[in-house]
Chain A
Amino acid sequence: MGVKLSLGVSLGAVLAVILVALVGVQVSSLQPIFGIFVPYAAFVIFLVGFVYRVVDWGRSPVPFRIPTTCGQQKSLPWIKQNKLECPSSTLGVIGRMILEVCAFRSLFRHTKAEMASGNIVYGGSKWIWVGALAFHYSFLIIAVRHLRLFLEPVPFLINGLDLVDGMFQIGAPALYLTDLLLIGAVSYLFVRRLIVPKMRYISLANDYFPLLLIFSIGISGILMRYFIRVDIVGVKELTMGLVTFHPVIPEGIGAIFFVHVALISTLLAYFPFSKLMHAGGVFLSPGRNLANTNRAKMHVNPWNYPVDIHSYEDYENEFREKMKNAGIPVERE
């Protein structure tokens, strides 16, 4: 499948979600489907699917302790160990995982190799690291901010986050920095896939679709807040209804809200079946989450089984005379 088809399919799928939601909510009797049934169903698929996938990974054992070591091992006491990149304790592993999960340590190493007059030149290249951090953190903050729709009273911390995110007080309501960051970062990640030849070669619809979906989620959210205003009191009534299991559909919320919900529901339902599962996988990846202590502490393989090892006895039986002639000791003369 070429780039055009991958893109076409991804874009088509996102547009279809938007269209179905737009058309659907015009019929007021269908509003409960988009406002109640779809989000519930999506959330259940997400939860069950996510747990299922993680449990499924967990069903396969880790037969060998084979972390990729990225620093000095623990050996002689006077040689300084790199406790984070080559951990030998649980604490070290936790440190390594925190760096990996929260700071994208490995991505930070990224370099770009190019050839210049017959030599390979390695340039520092932190854009992918910056882009990935901006994307994930703005997404996280936006998700946390949305908790004010699901909690009553709104906790102090979430109100505070809201204030900080909108601290520049540009426009009314105040422009959120994370909104800009998210749209910027998603656009960067998307454009990068299109214009960098290597990225275009390796990208699949599986890569374009979630980016376009998240882009649309961001845009529909921004539209709702600044341009096509929705009845925020009605929205909160609906979201509180969802979390308290007394779902209601207030009058006159506005179609754009249902589009936003449909897109998010799609993302949630798509999540467990996709590469987005890296969110769970990164914690379970044996390449990083094990200590490099194989020589100090035995690791047990649950399916280890005895194998046929060519025995010394057979070896000596075959070569006994030659060994004796060469003065190599033998067991049996």
Chain B
Amino acid sequence: MANNPKYYESLNLDYKPPRGNWMDRPINIKPGIYCYPARPVVLENVQMNDRSDWGKYWVIEDEDWELPDDWKERFLNKMREMLDKYRTFKIYMDICVRCGACADKCHYFLGSGDPMNMPVMRAELLRSIYRGEFTKTGKMLGRIVGARKLTKKALKQLWYYMFQCSECRRCSTFCPYGIDTAEITIMAREIMNELGMNIAWIQESVSKCIHTGNHLGLQPQAYKECIDCMLMDIEDNVGITFEPSFNRKGAEILFVTPSGDVFAEPGIYTLAGYLMLFEHLGLDYTWSTYASEGGDFGFFTANEIAKRMNGKIYNEAKRLGVKWILGGECGHMWRVLNQYMTTWHGPVNFLEEPVSPITGTKFENAKAHKMVHICEFIADLIKNGKLKLDPSRNDGLRVTYHDSCNPARGMGLLEEPRYCIKNVCNHFYEMPENTLREQTFCCGSGSGLNASENMELRMRGGFPRQNAVRYVRDKYGVNMLACICAIDRAAFPAAQQYWNPDVGCCGITELVANALIMEGEGPRTNNLRGFEIATWEPEP
């Protein structure tokens, strides 16, 4: 599947699990589904569970995963610690009734048909160990009550399936007790991290973020050069020349966005959108090369690493003496910002309550955190008539909007992006309601699974979203999928080449900037991508 990217007309799955008990089935770890383990060299900066204390690297295909001698003890001790630290974990281990409401809600299950990808089964993988190792009934009655001991087979299975969950929380929406499988995956990954069972794509990103500030490993001058490149493109396509500031002390606002948008298409056009918008507003803001990553890859491996990475943002805001922070379009970045950041580092007394310098609007919902989402910021500008917009520049686009999973289910940011799109595009169509808002699907590559060796998993996991895109493509001629997540923008081009080769992908700020009438602009015959507005047809 992965090696032969072509348009797949059909995926034929009946979603019927096999007969018999899952505990008896052999584990079949398939290439194309899993990600490679982290190489020891990239772990130097992380300095946490890097296998250096037992000095053995591992290979998935090998029978022996080179675990430390006391692996079982380490696993169980860590699990005990997590149970004592997180009420979520304890309750979610105890109260699932296996009602089946979550079973067909996971995009990986819907795209693969693998019964172990039903969220309830993913949780049961760990829950069975919990019963067998931590509860009296489980220890006494064993398999009769769905309990099992921690074995190497159980551990491998756990690793394989916990890296087939993108922590998107769609299942949690449907659970009558609000059991959050993302939380269970987070716990399991942190426990396995204790045994050095982490993957390259995540750990390399973490390592680079710690070292250079961003997951691409861009050093300060390179980061600036990337943005300079976009400035040249803007000069060509918009006819405006300007220079934003970097690491500038005394700016009013620090702007932080995922570094993916600095580097790769189509995210760079969203970046161009930020640059144009802020220039147009005359915003007193600065970029930072030190806190140059909004995304928090540590979130996909262990709480402490997540906190270490995230801490740079407030540190930098404090050093530069800004008043508040503006955050760009990113999914899990905003889940972390919204649900973890102030708890980790607060109270944030060195910043002020965010106020838009253009409209005077107080962002009261961010008064403790001091950080505003770009969509909230833009929606407020549009509502107050501060932007001159020409939506007809986006007339070649028939746009649909993908609720990026984390802003939807970890924040509730649903209407702001829609308001922005509707004001800058004349042709906007919604996908079917079961695939939107709180029921939105993951792109298929979230939570650190955006590697290339697991392409089959990504294409399968991306299918439910792409299937809904195809529906509006066929019905309304939709040719552009807008989203507010840098992982989406990295993942959708591949998924769309595979499932929907005639639909493009963009960020919302790109659409806004396309429609934005800037003072002193040249003739706007080209869009931000350098194509003629009148004739351009998007592609992934």
A residues bordering B, Cβ < 8 Å?
1-2, 6, 9, 53, 56-76, 78-80, 82, 85-86, 88, 100, 104, 106-107, 109-115, 117-120, 122, 128, 132, 196-207, 273-275, 277-278, 281-282, 284-289, 292-301, 303-304, 307-312, 315-316, 319, 322-323, 325-329
Contacts and interface: CB of A to CB of B under 8 A. Distances in A.
Given A1-B21, A75-B376, A298-B342, A198 B178 contact: no
Interface of B: 9-23, 45, 83-92, 94-101, 103-105, 110, 115, 118, 120-121, 124, 136-137, 143-146, 169, 172-180, 183, 210-211, 213, 219-221, 224-225, 246-249, 289-290, 304, 307-308, 311-312, 315-316, 319, 337-344, 346-348, 361, 363-369, 371, 376, 379-380, 383, 408-416, 419, 432, 434-435, 437-439, 463-464, 467, 470-471
A68 B312 contact: no
Which of A60, A202, A274: most chain B Cβ within 10 A? A202
A75 B416 contact: yes
Contacts of B99: 107, 128, 132
B416 A53 contact: no
A292 B22 CA distance: 37
A302 B211 CA distance: 29
A115 B11 contact: yes
A13 to B, nearest CB: 10
A307 B308 contact: yes
A323 B220 contact: yes
Given A70-B438, A206-B146, A328-B220, A300 B311 contact: no
Given A71-B412, A295-B365, A207 B219 contact: no
B367 A296 contact: yes
A176 B40 CA distance: 69
Nearest to B346: A298
Contacts of B341: 294
A122 B143 CA distance: 35
11 contacts: A1-B144, A59-B84, A69-B438, A70-B409, A78-B383, A106-B173, A110-B174, A113-B104, A198-B103, A202-B124, A289-B178
Contacts of A200: 17, 19
B84 to A, nearest CB: 6
A286 B57 CA distance: 38
A278 B93 CA distance: 11
A326 B371 contact: no
Given A62-B88, A71-B412, A82-B412, A312 B315 contact: yes
Contacts of B15: 113-115, 198
A328 B211 CA distance: 18
Given A201-B22, A295-B338, A329-B248, A284 B221 contact: no
Contacts of B13: 115
Given A2-B21, A198-B17, A294-B338, A69 B178 contact: no
Contacts of B175: 106, 287
A100 B412 contact: no
Given A71-B414, A205-B144, A197 B249 contact: no
Contact of A296 (B104, B304, B364): B364
